[in-house]
Amino acid sequence: MTEMSGADMVVQALVDLGVDTVFGYPGGAVLPIYDALFKHPTIKHILVRHEQAATHAAEGYARSTGKPGVVLVTSGPGATNAVTGITDALLDSIPMVVLTGQVPTTLIGTDAFQECDTVGITRHCTKHNYLVMDPDRLGPILHEAFYIATHGRPGPVVIDIPKNVQVATGTYSIPNRIDHKSYRPQVDPDAEAIAAAIAMIAAAERPIFYTGGGVINAGPDASAALRQLVALTGAPVTSTLMGLGAFPADDDQWLGMLGMHGTYEANMAMNRADLIIAVGARFDDRVTGRLDAFSPDSKKIHIDIDRSSINKIVPVDLAVVGDAGRALDALIAAWADKGHKARDLGEWWRRIDGWRATRCLDFPEKKEDGAEIMPQRAVKALFDATRGMDPIITTEVGQHQMWAAQHFHFDSPNRWLTSGGLGTMGYGFPAAVGAQIAHPDRLVICIAGEASLQMNIQEMGTVSQYRLPVKIFILNNQWMGMVRQWQELTYESRYSNSYSDSLPDFVKLADAYGWTGLRIDTLGELADGIQTMLGTPGPVIVDCRVAQLANCFPMIPSGAAHTDMILQPNDIVGTMDDEAKALV
Amino acid sequence: MKITTEAGERHVLAVTVDNEAGILAKITGLFSARGYNIESLTVADISADHALSRITIVTSGPPAVIDQIIAQLDRLVPVHSVTDLADGGAHVEREIALVKVAGSGDKRIEALRMADVFRAKVVDTTLSSFIFEITGTSDKVDRFIALMRECGLVEVGRTGVVAIARGAEAV
């Protein structure tokens, strides 16, 4: 119990909570906190160039470490610029605490300079938010905010702090134990549900594990438990975009990602399965395709920490509410307890091998040195060149993101950082900054599209300032490729505003920021170009020119079932009806 | 292309929440953001220490939507409990309306006579008007107001529904 200013309390609480890094941007309404930070060298403040980038960097930090990301921004535009990243963190369940300055309590509601209703604006894009009107409440609220951000289903929490509350003095107190009066997420699964689940798994003839970001959020032990359970049962595994890395991609039981741009074998296996075991995944529309044709003959077990995810989109036969890791541990224990042995799933695997034989990720390409580079080839080359380096890969959003998901393979969690739920162009580069800050000695590569990258390209300055060795690998096809692909499939190739006109010279841009820039134009230059990037210390931007009109396949078209995948461009017939067009 | 919506059944939810600023906005915002119906909503502080409020929400939707509404409400940090009163068996519902009727002669007499039939109380009168207070289910209040329209109705204020489960147990 010590008397201190509100700003000092904020910094003291961050220290007490073990925060080592804050991503932020100063401004009038947070000057007292910035002054307190100045006196506290143990907390590293990373000065971004735009508040949106601070939130994505915090997400990159969080996703690559498992620790909450912390953001500090000013009132008004500082807070509104942060909203996209806050919403991104909500959709992808990323633990994050955002501190926003606010005009003094005496001016709230007067349309004061740089005033906005931050708690109002962020009410529905946060897991929880606070407006702190009394400095004595700062200690308890900060501690509670970190608890809420990291417990149960993780998410972003905003704390709005008026300037006079930062300046006023009060008593700093730390709650002995966070025992929230209403927020008590269930982390331990019910024993009966586990017993029922294990009986269903043991009896299944065509089971499949469908895993998601919840396994990553549950920590590395959950990924280890997933591997163990999958090995025990002998069942195949597929994963959502957010769950990549929880199960090793070189394992025989791995079917690849499922969903709209997932593999044929994963989607067919989901469709034909007699049991789906969903772990920390939420039956997103990008995963299910047409709902009335989604896995029609299966029983479904849904393990999720968020009760509201269960039965939200797909009705399930058995709900298991709890932390993915604890549920997987309980399933492993129950499997051993009951003395179950893996069934002979030979017939199921033979069918899966039949689907695998379509080699759905193959793509047509020319092999000569002067040929244009297929974007898939560029990702594969990058993957091959970085094997053994354990890189952290971030992506922007679009075709390049899907190609990266299909062709870059992960063996461990927390290496794959991408915006899945909100699909935020501009996420990948600042997320790479956050990941590199957290892991200064690791290889961090942002696989980008030339359009997405420009949404937060100002962060090149941040990278220069902190001498971060971030690598940006642009699959530059001079199109907003996914938009163009949909226009091709849905709007008879009327390419309305999807051409990336007036692109900067990325090599000169690199030079302007003190980076190394290089350009790769042909297949013959690809391997060497990647080696140059990897061998160059400091930040590098690679402008890799790829085939302009390549499309991302396989693809489940909008409104279609898992079984109606387009495998190759020549599978496309006819035009879409309005029902399909209306789907996102 | 036509946009269709699924018909639903009426449910009364009792929600206990922290009595803090912004909670009501959070709950109504959840309903509007996810496209759920609110037919009626009442809220008042209910605890001796002013720490808790009870919100009674009348909503409608197919069973899966109602289940989702309850799950979504339940995961909000300041929400302590959500009870579907239709689930727990019998419950009682009441609503109060204040109904102002103006007129003279036969219509005035008829209004007073019907108010008596409905057990509505006269809480204010002038030579040319009455204010009736009526308590009952929403149906009963609706019917009373419909009759008053024929007798010079000029203004209505309604509280919305409050409801509580029968029996000795609390939610």
Predicted pLDDT at A574 = 63
The reply to whether B77 touches chain A by the CB within 8 Å rule is yes
* Half-sphere exposure in the Cβ direction for A303 (13 Å, CA): 35
The reply to whether B52 touches chain A by the CB within 8 Å rule is no
Nearest CA in chain B to A316: B64
Q: What stretch(es) of chain B map to CATH 3.30.70.260?
A: 9-84
Nearest CA in chain B to A578: B1
| Chain B 91-130, residues with CB within 8 Å of chain A CB atoms | none
Say whether pLDDT at A533 is over 70: yes
Residue A24 near residue A154, CB atoms below 8 Å: no
Question: From the CA of A69, how many Å to the nearest CA of chain B?
Answer: 20
- CATH homologous superfamily for the domain A2-172: Thiamin diphosphate (ThDP)-binding fold, Pyr/PP domains (3.40.50.970)
Residue A206 near residue A274, CB atoms below 8 Å: yes
Residue B8 near residue B62, CB atoms below 8 Å: yes
Confidence of residue A579 (pLDDT cuts 50, 70, 90): confident
Cα torsion through B75, B79, B80, B82, rounded to 10: -70
User: Left, alpha or beta for A348 (phi > 0: left; psi -120 to 50: alpha)?
Assistant: alpha
Q: How many CB atoms lie within 10 A of CB A347?
A: 10
The reply to whether A183 touches chain B by the CB within 8 Å rule is yes
Confidence of residue A490 (pLDDT cuts 50, 70, 90): confident
Say whether pLDDT at B3 is over 90: no
Q: In whole angstroms, give the CA distance from residue A235 to residue A314.
A: 22
Chain B partners of A578 at a C-beta cutoff of 8 Å?
A: 1
Predicted pLDDT at B88 = 63
- Are residues A308 and B71, on separate chains, in Cβ contact within 8 Å? yes
Predicted pLDDT at A575 = 66
- Are residues A182 and B21, on separate chains, in Cβ contact within 8 Å? no
Residue A310 near residue B67, CB atoms below 8 Å: no
Architecture of the CATH domain A375-552: 3-Layer(aba) Sandwich (3.40)
Residue-wise pLDDT tens digits, A5-57: 999 999 999 999 999 999 999 999 999 999 999 998 899 999 999 999 999 99
**Which CATH fold topology does B91-164 show?**
Alpha-Beta Plaits (3.30.70)
User: Which whole-number Å values give the CA distances from A9 to A18, A163, A319, A364, B82, in the listed order?
Assistant: 14, 13, 42, 60, 35
Predicted pLDDT at A307 = 96
Residue of A124, A146, A490, A578 to mutate, testing the B interface (most B Cβ within 10 Å of its Cβ):
A124
Chain B partners of A312 at a C-beta cutoff of 8 Å?
A: 68, 71
Q: Cβ neighbours of residue A395 under 8 Å, at least 6 residues apart?
A: A401, A404, A405, A417, A418, A419, A427, A428, A446, A447, A448
Confidence of residue A499 (pLDDT cuts 50, 70, 90): very high
- Are residues B22 and A123, on separate chains, in Cβ contact within 8 Å? yes
Q: What is the value of ipTM here, to two decimals?
A: 0.89
Nearest CA in chain B to A152: B75
The reply to whether A409 touches chain B by the CB within 8 Å rule is no
Residue-wise pLDDT tens digits, A63-87: 999 999 999 999 999 999 999 999 9
Chain B partners of A180 at a C-beta cutoff of 8 Å?
A: 77
Cα dihedral sign for A400, A401, A405, A411? positive
The reply to whether B30 touches chain A by the CB within 8 Å rule is yes
Confidence of residue A4 (pLDDT cuts 50, 70, 90): very high
Task: Calculate helix-pair angle for A264-272, A346-356, nearest 10 degrees.
Answer: 140
Average pLDDT over residues B165-171: 87
Mean pLDDT of chain A: 96
- CATH homologous superfamily for the domain B9-84: ACT domain (3.30.70.260)
Tell how strand A318-321 and strand A299-304 pair up.
Answer: parallel
The reply to whether A582 touches chain B by the CB within 8 Å rule is yes
Q: In whole angstroms, give the CA distance from residue A351 to residue A169.
A: 69
Partnered with residue A517 across adjacent β-strands are A541
What percentage of chain A has pLDDT greater than the value 70? 99
- Are residues B77 and A582, on separate chains, in Cβ contact within 8 Å? no
CATH class of the domain defined by A191-356: alpha beta
Partnered with residue A530 across adjacent β-strands are none
Residue A81 near residue A103, CB atoms below 8 Å: no
The reply to whether A306 touches chain B by the CB within 8 Å rule is yes
Question: From the CA of B86, how many Å to the nearest CA of chain A?
Answer: 20
Residue-wise pLDDT tens digits, A423-456: 999 999 999 999 999 999 999 999 999 999 999 9
Average pLDDT over residues B81-97: 90
Residue-wise pLDDT tens digits, A418-430: 999 999 999 999 9
- Are residues A312 and B26, on separate chains, in Cβ contact within 8 Å? no
What percentage of chain B has pLDDT greater than the value 90? 88
Say whether pLDDT at A373 is over 90: yes
Residue of B52, B75, B76 to mutate, testing the A interface (most A Cβ within 10 Å of its Cβ):
B75
Say whether pLDDT at B30 is over 90: yes
The reply to whether A148 touches chain B by the CB within 8 Å rule is yes
DSSP assignment string, A527-545: HHHHHHHHHS-S-EEEEEE
The reply to whether A308 touches chain B by the CB within 8 Å rule is yes
Residue-wise pLDDT tens digits, A103-122: 999 999 999 999 999 999 99
- Are residues A307 and B78, on separate chains, in Cβ contact within 8 Å? no
Query: What residues of A act catalytically?
Result: 51, 113-114, 163, 482
| Chain A 418-457, residues with CB within 8 Å of chain B CB atoms | none
Say whether pLDDT at A2 is over 80: no
Average pLDDT over residues A513-540: 98
Confidence of residue A573 (pLDDT cuts 50, 70, 90): low
The reply to whether B79 touches chain A by the CB within 8 Å rule is yes
Average pLDDT over residues A375-404: 98
- Going from N- to C-terminal start, the domains of chain A cover 2-172, 191-356, 375-552
Same fold: A191-356 with A375-552? yes
Q: What stretch(es) of chain B map to CATH 3.30.70.1150?
A: 91-164
Helix and strand numbers, DSSP H then E, in chain A: 23, 20
Predicted pLDDT at A427 = 98
| Chain A 236-275, residues with CB within 8 Å of chain B CB atoms | none
